[in-house]
Amino acid sequence: MTRAFITGITGQDGTYLAERLLADGVDVHGLVFTADATSPQVPDAAVLHEGDLTDVGATAALVRRVAPDLVFNLAALSSVARSWEDPDAASRINSTAALGLLEAVAALPGDVRFVQASSAEIFGEPASSPQDEATPIAPVNPYGIAKAEVHAAVGVRRAAGLHATSLILYNHESPRRPTRFVTRKITSTVAAIARGDADELVLGNLDARRDWGWAPDYVDAMVRAASADVADDYVVATGESHSVLDFVAAAFARAGITDWEGLVRSDPSFLRPADATELVGDASRARARLGWAPTVAFVEIVGRMVDADLA
């Protein structure tokens, strides 16, 4: 039986990945941060191990004990906004801990496969769109800097023979997205406005354009990458970008609120020191070599999130 080890199993992607692998008959193990409450969405059938990923020695010992065939590194300080508040934590969790895990996996015997959740943030403020695997890596925030370091290390380990893949994931959303991300902040606030529990939606940069996909599709890319004959780097993206304001408009439309312009304002306190104007990815390589394709369109993603928040 194949055994998987997932860091970040309590997060949006971790819960979807655990469900998917269990359905595929995989024995699923996950690392849960000792101080964290377990997410109710983590399936009961997953075996959870308490620990702190930043304790590199303890994590390496755990990996040796679990002896997985597949390792998915999804644990991260996952938001760019939080990485500005605590750059040191972004570096320790997203970089140092990930590098330690990568080395621990490389030291395991047998054909062990490593999948790293990298990010479009490694491209910083790219000069052109869409980006692909050849786009220059030039991060502009602490989150992107840490992800870029691990992306490079995965490439080095792959060249040395490890089946290690770095997935350059663009923003991917679902009703499980925490409200610190703009999409869920919008859908939860629009639902609150629809219920009469809130009277305005206060955001930062309304013009930023992002490539928003459906999180379970991105988990499907992780599974495909792990089972591919050859490891590589892959952009995982829909290829379509929309502005934050487009997302707002689609959310109000789904909630049936037509006169919404006066309910939305931009507050400078939510602006970031640096923020890419547009991030949009070209996933041609993943489509061709992994047979991957996104299955849920933008308006439907917004709709599903609004419906979940209204319910």
Positions that interact with ligand GDP (CB under 6 A): 79-81, 171, 180-183, 185, 203-205, 208, 210, 244, 270, 272, 275
Q: Do 250 and 234 meet the contact criterion of CB atoms below 8 Å apart?
A: no
Comparing CB distances to ligand GDP, the nearer of 4 and 245 is: 245
Do the bridges between strand 209-210 and strand 242-243 make them parallel or antiparallel, or are there none, so unpaired?
A: antiparallel
Q: Do 77 and 83 meet the contact criterion of CB atoms below 8 Å apart?
A: yes
Min. distance of Cβ 281 from ligand GDP in angstroms?
12
Comparing CB distances to ligand GDP, the nearer of 80 and 108 is: 80
Min. distance of Cβ 28 from ligand GDP in angstroms?
26
Q: Measured between alpha carbons, how far is 78 from 120 in angstroms, rounded to an integer?
A: 12
Min. distance of Cβ 208 from ligand GDP in angstroms?
3
Q: Measured between alpha carbons, how far is 89 from 96 in angstroms, rounded to an integer?
A: 10
Comparing CB distances to ligand GDP, the nearer of 180 and 195 is: 180
Cβ-based neighbour number of residue 88 at 10 Å? 10
Which token pair is 118? 């990298």
Which token pair is 257? 């609120």
Min. distance of Cβ 5 from ligand GDP in angstroms?
25
Min. distance of Cβ 117 from ligand GDP in angstroms?
12
Task: Of 40, 39, 44, give the one whose Cα is nearest residue 22.
Answer: 44
Catalytic residues, by residue number, are 119, 121, 143
Comparing CB distances to ligand GDP, the nearer of 21 and 219 is: 219
Q: Measured between alpha carbons, how far is 160 from 180 in angstroms, rounded to an integer?
A: 38
Comparing CB distances to ligand GDP, the nearer of 157 and 210 is: 210
CA 59: distance to chain centroid?
A: 21
Q: Which residue is nearest to ligand GDP (CB)?
A: 208
CA 51: distance to chain centroid?
A: 21
